Structure 1
């Protein structure tokens, strides 16, 4: 497949992507509503989920690089950065770690906005913008609740 061939967004992938917002929304709401004895677990759950998602966003670049006839090293290098940042953020105090996760969700989108068109994945950018904006907002709101 030519790297510049645009592959349409898969409807199942779109539905699952939007469904992936549920833990972010739930975590952000519960961060403000739960009792003190449950607050730690709510924030821990959201932090861990954000770390998994940020890592997934980096891993997508490895998958796209696998499709290249002559792969550039840059998608592989960039692909590990989100995982490393998510790992660091998950060990930070929640009020700071959730902010790092939110920032990384935005950074990943900005990088994807630049790289996806050349890799034939531009059809996913509208969903990526919506999901990144909402997930980052949820991380920031939950960080404020800590």
Structure 2
């Protein structure tokens, strides 16, 4: 393998990235709580907001696959396909009734983590898996809890 094409050594998670990831959970948790606390006539708006935010995050996490593909001189088709698939499926979830869409987004967050559990170590990003798990678990749980009262 050409040294110029070799992947960089394993990367650790910078503290600033960790803070941004945790900050990204605030809309998930806050929206899920609000679905249970707001007046019934406001609930559809909060539910839709959570569903849309979850879709943006799922698409972003799928976009990471495209970023990883760019590190290769011959981009692996599986990375390109999975990145696009997560964005398209998240969009489909937004187009559904918000309660059903939240279930779709929650499943996509879990499925994305399961894919990344194999992908990240192969790309030298194993150190990110703990943070990725925590984020996915809280985000998916928020989607499921929100859907339960939508």
TM-score by length of 1: 0.95
Q: Name the CA distance, whole Å, in 1 between partners of 2:42 and 2:76.
A: 46
Q: State whether residues 44 and 98 of structure 2, in contact with CA within 8 Å, keep that contact through their aligned partners in structure 1.
A: no
Q: State whether residues 6 and 122 of structure 1, in contact with CA within 8 Å, keep that contact through their aligned partners in structure 2.
A: yes
Q: State whether residues 14 and 127 of structure 1, in contact with CA within 8 Å, keep that contact through their aligned partners in structure 2.
A: yes
Q: Name the CA distance, whole Å, in 1 between partners of 2:25 and 2:99.
A: 20
1:121 maps to what in 2?
Answer: 125
Aligned counterpart in structure 1 of residue 96 of structure 2, from 92, 113, 124 = 92
2:77 maps to 1:77: no
Aligned counterpart in structure 2 of residue 22 of structure 1, from 26, 40, 47 = 26
1:45 maps to what in 2?
Answer: 49
Q: Name the CA distance, whole Å, in 2 between partners of 1:87 and 1:102.
A: 13
* Residue 5 of structure 1, CA deviation: 2.0
Q: State whether residues 3 and 118 of structure 1, in contact with CA within 8 Å, keep that contact through their aligned partners in structure 2.
A: no
Higher-Rg structure is 2
- Please give the root-mean-square deviation of Cα atoms over the aligned residues, in Å: 1.2
* Residue ranges of structure 1 left out of the alignment (5+ in a row): none
* Residue ranges of structure 2 left out of the alignment (5+ in a row): none
Aligned counterpart in structure 2 of residue 137 of structure 1, from 135, 138, 141 = 141
Q: Name the CA distance, whole Å, in 2 between partners of 1:67 and 1:104.
A: 24
2:64 maps to what in 1?
Answer: 60
- Number of residue pairs matched? 146
1:10 maps to what in 2?
Answer: 14
